[in-house]
Amino acid sequence: MRAALHRHGPLAAGLALLVGLWAGPLVGRAETSFAAHMVLHMGLVAVAAPALAFGLARSVPAVGRRVSARFAILAALTEFALVWSWHAPALHDAARRETAVLILEQGSFLLAGLLVWTAAFGTAEGARGARAAGVGALLMTSMHMTLLGALLLFAPRPLYRCGDLCSPLATLTPLEDQQLGGVLMLLVGGAAYLTGGLALLAGILDPKREGAAPA
């Protein structure tokens, strides 16, 4: 029992986090609040996705074993394209107004996060080049999330029409709501990927670990 819990517990915890995000009140709030929408997004890519990726690596080791450097970079580029595309005004407003589009958006966020974190955990056991690619994938993601968060925070006006249309009774103005969402992306998204990248980098720079790693 203890061995099964040790092996499958992280995956179960990741699934519980995912259920909490998608079955809780955040989905409804995400339609009327940009900040709540961002909490849902960050919960998926910076909390649930790494937990699920770690759980999959523990429960089904073959899933992420020996991930290639190319896969890690492609995963990071995929997440970059998806995150920035879904934050384009037309697509974001559509996701706030249409449940089907919201499901597609959030599903793609989860998939992108899983790709990056699975690549990072998979390369952690590989050769130095693969591990460097895993570090690069996480740091690249941290940088573009930081940039997008800063854009949302410092934009002089609301970037989305839904700020007025979807939440007429909100206590925050559309610009304040957008700024709060930008802060959340900076503090949660940028920090989570940065921390993961630096942790993997520490493994590369550890001479004891390097001596045992395959060439």
How far apart (Å, rounded) are the C-alpha atoms in residues 44 and 18? 7
Phi-psi region of 158 (alpha: psi -120 to 50; beta: other; left: phi over 0): beta
Query: For residue 128, with 0-12 CB atoms within 10 Å meaning exposed, 13-18 middle and 19 or more buried, which class applies?
Result: middle
Coil, strand, or helix at residue 64? coil
| pLDDT confidence of residue 32 | 84
Tell me how long the chain is.
Answer: 215
**What domain range is 203 assigned to?**
2-212
How far apart (Å, rounded) are the C-alpha atoms in residues 29 and 34? 9
| pLDDT confidence of residue 215 | 39
| pLDDT confidence of residue 155 | 95
How far apart (Å, rounded) are the C-alpha atoms in residues 120 and 113? 11
How far apart (Å, rounded) are the C-alpha atoms in residues 200 and 203? 5
Look up residue 68 and give its two tokens. 């290639």
What is the mean pLDDT for each group of 10 consecutive residues in the chain (215 residues)?
71 91 89 91 94 85 72 93 96 92 95 91 69 89 96 94 67 90 94 92 70 45
Number of domains in the chain: 1
Place of tokens 């790494």: 50
Q: Tell me the CA distances in angstroms from 51 to 47, 126, 134, one per residue in order.
A: 6, 20, 17
How far apart (Å, rounded) are the C-alpha atoms in residues 48 and 110? 8
| pLDDT confidence of residue 124 | 63
| pLDDT confidence of residue 131 | 80
